Amino acid sequence: MPAGPAASRRVLGRRGLLLGGAAALGGGAVGALGATASAEPPPAPVAAAPQGPVGADAVPFHGRHQSGITTAPVQAHAAFVALDLRPGSGADDVARLLRLLSDDAARLTAGRSPLGADDPELVALPSRLTVTFGFGPGLFDAIGRPEQCPAVVRALPAFATDRIDPRWSGGDLLLQVCSDDRLPLSYAVRRLVRDARGVATVRWTQRGFGPARGSEPAGTTPRNLFGQRDGSKNPEVGGALDDAVWVRDGPDWFVDGSMLVLRRIRMDLDVWDDLGREARELSVGRSVGSGAPVTGGTEFDEVDPTAVDGDGFAAVPPAAHALRAKARGPAERMLRRGFSYDDGPTADGAPEAGLLFAAYQADAATAFVPVQARLAESDVLNLWVTHTGSAAFAVPPGCAPGEYVGGRLLEG
Amino acid sequence: MSPSVPAASVRARGALLVAALGALALAGCGAAPTTGPAAPTIEPAAAAAPAPQTAVVVSDPWVKAAEGGMTAVFGTVTATGSAPVTVVSAATSASPRAELHEVLGKADGTMAMQPKESGFVVDPGAPHRLAPGGDHIMIMDLAAPIRPGDRVEVTLTLGDGSTAGFSALAKETTAGEENYEHGEAAPGMSGPGGAPTGQGG
């Protein structure tokens, strides 16, 4: 568990943090060094984004891939809804469910009421609404095709640093619903769940947010609740992104799909608040303000693990998050499409907030799993983050008009 | 989505009518004698291929899920040519019996559904909306439940003898339904049980 506020008053020397890979594991000692904050210049004024009504913007639901994965920029709001199929559900029930939900999603994302509904005002401005479906192990079992569930989706490994609460974990069918506006998002979730509940129950719902659309120039990496630019090293749009995200080799129903790993990562913001800026930046290896490596360069450069300071010490802790999280090869790359969550404060005033870490990848067994194993082994950031929820899903490819998501699995 | 004019006019008559409408729905629809020969039941595959340039097209088609008895098909029928088109009958994959129905206000202020013997006339440029509380295609004597997410294939026969087919998705939620079909509907009821039962024609 994260250290309490009292522990944060224990002061370590800078070298303690630099060399403190072991401390990073245990969480017993929290670095509170960095009494001298780095002289970070204030952020440059944000250029005004082009203004104009954007509520009518719509993202096509149909296509080779599902929308809501490489849809960019990431929408401002998200709801992740995990459904469990009712006991006794079979392939026919699942097909009916997916047919209904695909039809709803196609209409809602285009700004239209679902069939049988009469609420055009609530969804007329979808604000880039997307609905993305993911299949958990229980869905494969229900349709009688358990062998089609990727092993890593069926059993994501446990990591030493996990403190997983079943309340935020698992699920047979995931709905990822995103929009720049919470009104259409709320309506979409409501109607989708209403059409699902004859066949499924709601296991959990997690809501997250990012920057408001247009608050910064297009292409700016969003900030998480630590204030960091989060996602600077995402694969670049184009070949690198496609290679990282889309399933190329696999059963026919899965080609052009993806895998989603969703982790609820609690941030110990009280302790983080009391850290000095230098400690915050060393923990990741990057400047909070610019996102650039503390070893120099720009946001999109790599942190240099060999850089040394004036005293000859490593400029960045070997266990700095950016160094540990860096992909060791193309197979480890993934698209991090996270959202902040804030369900606090608690009755006694403590924050209850963090990151809904949503990572899309062609194969979680070669991407999320080895990266997270490395982070669980050693990552300074473990002092302030705890994984409290975990779910993995096979994300089928998109569908054409008249088809439904998952049709190739159900009818193939 | 265009607003539902027929449905709105029905709703405007107020909640007082609702209970009576539910009862009359049974009398007006369920007990209606069969007129003409039973329409043939068609197989889903028969209407799956889109017919080229039919005289009408049906958009946003859907059918109310039902455990048995009767139910209705809704959607918007649009004429594709420059002349009015009359829909004279309908056949579905769900039952041998289907009728074109309208909802009429009676002299005593109540509403009743009844077969529309003259058919639905669709004028060019004026899409004809089939909606709860208004014109609809009634399916009687369901052979099997229509569950949410099922598809029902529908073939319309037009005045010139040509046909137009479409596939209607079954849904259990309806706006403007009131007690249109089943007087015992329980608010908040979910699952397949929310559909009418025991109302066979």
Q: What is the 3-state secondary structure (H, E, C) of chain B?
A: CCCCHHHHHHHCCCCHHHHHHHHHHHHHHHCCCCCCCCCCCCCHHHHCCCCCCCCEEEEEEEEECECCCCEEEEEEEEECCCCCEEEEEEEECCCCEEEEEEEEECCCCCEEEEECCCCEEEECCECEEECCCCCEEEEECCCCCECCCCEEEEEEEECCCCEEEEEEEEECCCCCCCCCCCCCCCCCCCCHHHCCCCCCC
Structure tokens at A87: 């006991």
> Which pLDDT score is estimated for A50?
55
From the CA of B66, how many Å to the nearest CA of chain A? Answer: 13
If one compares B182 and B79, the residue with the highest pLDDT of the two is B79
| Percentage of residues in chain A having pLDDT higher than 70 | 88
Check: CB of residue A398 under 8 Å from CB of residue A66: yes
What's the gap in Å between the CA of A297 and the closest CA on chain B? 53
> Would an 8 Å CB–CB cutoff place B171 in contact with chain A?
yes
Residues A195, A197, A201, A205, Cα dihedral to 10°: 40
- A338-356: b (≥16 Cβ within 10 Å) or e: bbbbeeeeeeeeebebbbb
Return the bridge partners of A94, or none.
Answer: none
Identified catalytic residue from A230, A268, A363, A379:
A230
- Among A113, A117, A198, beta carbon nearest to B148: A198
| Residue B27's pLDDT band (cuts 50, 70, 90) | very low
Structure confidence at residue B2 (pLDDT): 39
Say whether A268 is catalytic. no
- Could you tell me if A113 lies within 8 Å of chain B, comparing CB atoms? yes
Inform me whether the C-beta atom of residue B71 falls under 8 Å from chain A C-beta atoms.
Answer: no
- Of residues A108 and B174, more confidently modeled: A108
Selected for mutation to probe chain A from B5, B147, B152, B180 (highest A CB count within 10 Å) is: B147
d(CA A184, CA A128): 10
Nearest to A280 by CA among A352, A239, A230, A226: A226
CB contact under 8 A, A116 and B148: no
| Residue B178 maps to a domain | no
Nearest CA in chain A to B168: A115
Cα atoms in the 13 Å half-sphere on the side-chain side of B64? 31
Flag whether residue B150 sits within 8 Å of chain A, measured between CB atoms: yes
Q: What is the pTM of this model?
A: 0.83
Q: Sorting pLDDT into bands at 50, 70 and 90, what band is B107?
A: confident
- Inter-chain touch B169–A100, beta carbons under 8 Å: yes
pLDDT at A77: 98
Chain A residues touching residue B1 (CB < 8 angstroms): 112-113, 120
Domains of chain A by residue range: 58-398+407-411
Confidence of residue B98 (pLDDT cuts 50, 70, 90): very high
Tokens 């110990």 correspond to A268
Distance from CA of A208 to the nearest CA of B (A): 28
For residue A345, cis peptide bond before it (omega within 30 degrees of 0): yes
Question: Residues 6 or more apart from A173 whose CB is under 8 A from it?
Answer: A82, A83, A84, A85, A97, A133, A134, A135, A136, A139, A196, A200
In a domain, B194, yes or no: no
Whether chain B has a CB inside 8 Å of the CB on A114: the answer is yes
Q: Among all residues of chain A, which has the CA nearest to that of B177?
A: A116
Closest by CA to B92, choosing from B55, B127, B128, B58, is: B58
Q: What angle do CA A139, B172, B198 make, to 5 degrees?
A: 115
> Is residue B151 a contact partner of residue B168, using CB atoms and an 8 Å limit?
yes
pLDDT in tens, A293-347: 999 999 999 999 999 989 999 999 999 999 999 999 999 999 999 999 999 999 9
Considering only alpha carbons, which residue of chain A is nearest residue B130? A116
Determine contact, residues A340/A355, Cβ cutoff 8 Å: yes
Interchain proximity A197–B192, CB inside 8 Å: no
Distance between CA atoms of residues A155 and A166, nearest Å: 14
Q: Is residue B197 part of a domain?
A: no
Q: Are A36 and A275 in contact (CB under 8 A)?
A: no
Phi, psi of A52 (to 5 degrees): 160, 160
Answer whether residue B90 is part of any domain: yes
Does any CB of chain A come closer than 8 Å to the CB of residue B176? yes
- Please tell me the total count of domains within chain B: 1
Is the CB of A96 less than 8 angstroms away from the CB of B147? yes
Low-confidence ranges of chain A (pLDDT < 50): 1-15, 18-40
Domain presence at residue B196: no
pLDDT on residue B112: 85
Q: Find, in chain B, the residue whose alpha carbon is nearest to that of A198.
A: B191
pLDDT at B29: 52
Burial of B45 (0-12, 13-18, 19+ CB in 10 A): exposed
- Between A218 and B82, whose confidence is greater? B82
- A115 near B CB under 8 A: yes
Strands B163-171 and B56-64: parallel
Q: Which of A96, A115, A120 sits opposite B62 (nearest CB)?
A: A115
pLDDT of residue B109: 82
Closest CA to A394 of A141, A200, A136, A204: A136
- Report whether pLDDT(B188) > 90: no
Chain A residues 119-138 with a CB less than 8 Å from chain B? 119-120
**Among candidate residues A325, A330, A412, the one with its CA nearest the CA of residue A372:** A325
**Residue A96 is nearest to which of B64, B74, B148, comparing CB atoms?**
B148
- A211 by Cβ neighbours in 10 Å (0-12 / 13-18 / 19+) ranks as middle
- Containing structural domain, residue B107: 5-172
**CATH number of the structural domain spanning residue B50:** 2.60.40.1890
**B34 has pLDDT over 60:** no
Residue B46 pLDDT greater than 60, yes or no: no
Nearest by CB to B1, which of A100, A113, A198? Answer: A113
Å between A117 CA and nearest CA of chain B: 5
Query: Do the Cβ atoms of B173 and A116 come within 8 Å?
Result: yes
Cα A6 to Cα A17: distance, rounded to the nearest angstrom: 18
CA distance A405 to B21: 39
* pLDDT number for residue A218: 86
Backbone φ and ψ for A241, nearest 5 degrees, come out as -65, -45
Contact (Cβ atoms closer than 8 angstroms) between residue A183 and residue A111: no
- Please indicate whether, in this complex, the C-beta atoms of A198 and B151 are within 8 angstroms of each other: no
Q: Does B174 touch chain A if contact means CB atoms closer than 8 Å?
A: yes
Q: Do A198 and B169 make contact, defined as CB atoms within 8 angstroms?
A: no
User: Is the CB of A118 inside 8 Å of chain B's CB atoms?
Assistant: yes
How much is the pLDDT for B47?
43
Residue B47 token pair:
């209407």
Between helix A91-109 and helix A182-196 the angle, nearest 10°, is: 160
Provide mean pLDDT across the span B46-73: 84
* Predicted local confidence at residue A262, as pLDDT: 98
CA atoms of A193 and A200, how far apart (whole Å): 9
Q: Which three-class secondary structure string do you get for chain A?
A: CCCCHHHHCCCCCHHHHHCCHHHHHHCCCCCCCCCCCCCCCCCCCCCCCCCCCCCCCCCCCCCCCCCCCCCCCCCCEEEEEEEEECCCCCHHHHHHHHHHHHHHHHHHHCCCCCCCCCCHHHHCCCCCCEEEEEECHHHHHHCCCHHHCCHHHHCCCCCCCCCCCHHHCCCCEEEEEEECCHHHHHHHHHHHHHHHCCCEEEEEEEEEECCCCCCCCCCCCCECCCCCECCCCCCCCCHHHHHHHCCCCCCCCCCCCEEEEEEEEEECHHHHHCCCHHHHHHHHCECCCCCCECCCCCCCCCCCCCCECCCCCECCCCCCHHHHHCCCCHHHCCEECCEEEECCCCCCCCCCEEEEEEEEECCCCCCHHHHHHHHHHCCHHHHCEEEEEEEEEEECCCCCCCCCCCHHHHHC
Q: Determine, for residues A195 and B60 on separate chains, whether the beta-carbon distance falls below 8 Å.
A: no
Residues of B in contact with A116 (CB under 8 A): 62, 64, 74, 171-175
pLDDT of amino acid A412: 76
